[in-house]
Amino acid sequence: MTSPATSSGLAAILLWSTLASLTAAVPEIPPFELAAFSFAIAALVGVGYSVATGTSLTVLATVPPGAWALGVYGLLGYHVCYFYAFRNAPPVEVNLVNYLWPLLIVVLSGFLPAALGGRRLAWTHIAGALLGLCGTALVLAGGDGRLDLSGHVSGYFAALAAAVIWSTYSVASRLYAGVPSVAVTGTCALTALGAAAGHLAFEQTIWPADAMAWLLVLLQGFGPVGLAFYLWDDGMKHGNIRLIGVLSYATPLLSTLLLAVLGLGRPSPLLWLAALLVTAGAVLAGRK
């Protein structure tokens, strides 16, 4: 039976599985502009999260500088690298490189002190993580299963940097387990400001065209780029960090399945094989 914090981490994974579909449905808005909108909404979500958890936003005044720096490093740093990668390399391959972060979380969690939930890595953890990685590769590499790295070195390097940033941010969050997850409100606000600055510096403004476009932006900011970060923070600080890391491999799989259900993707035998690998990896790595 999973703890409430571990369940929070799993809920974040489910919310992230909707991101691809929402992003595909949102009219073409520049990435930094969309990030600024999304994280501004995410900061407002923090107000509701504060009420729901009974934690006053006044705790923001007590957050140590290191926690602020880690939060901005994780949210803003990750998204800058992520957006750059998608502009400078094919998206399927970028996703494959980016989704090294669940494997990195599983491995890096082994370096945490026992007092912070770290445990010695067993062969089941490594084998489970690698099975999940193989399943993710099948989902994201496409029908021919080939990954051509030529001509897109900077994009792939940025995707790798994104994976490293998100995994190290996630695991290092354990060092600030005493900081309430509502503090993510302030981090989201700072990320929105940073994304807005990037937008003003590098992009041309394109406003959502109609009410439906605004609704899709609101849904993205509320869910996969909003509430998910608060739940993930709780899961990383207080849940089973290794199990959450391995189950994160379900994100690209669930995302692909949702695209298929919505008619934006086509299921294939490789998809079902990937499902088997991801499920087997999660079960194996989740063993004591």
Mind listing the pLDDT tens digit for each residue in 236-267? Answer: 888 887 788 778 877 777 877 787 777 765 66
Q: Residue 209 class from Cβ within 10 Å (0-12 exposed, 13-18 middle, 19+ buried)?
A: exposed
Q: Please count the residues of the chain.
A: 288
pTM attached to this predicted model: 0.80
Domain boundaries, the chain: 4-285
Q: Tens digits of per-residue pLDDT, 95-139?
A: 777 878 887 887 787 776 665 555 677 787 788 778 877 877 776
pLDDT for res 73: 92
- Residues 110 and 123: their CA atoms lie apart, in Å, by 12
Whose CA is closest to 197, among 71, 76, 53?
A: 76
What confidence tens digit (pLDDT) does each residue in 49-89 have?
A: 999 888 889 989 989 999 999 998 999 888 888 878 877 77
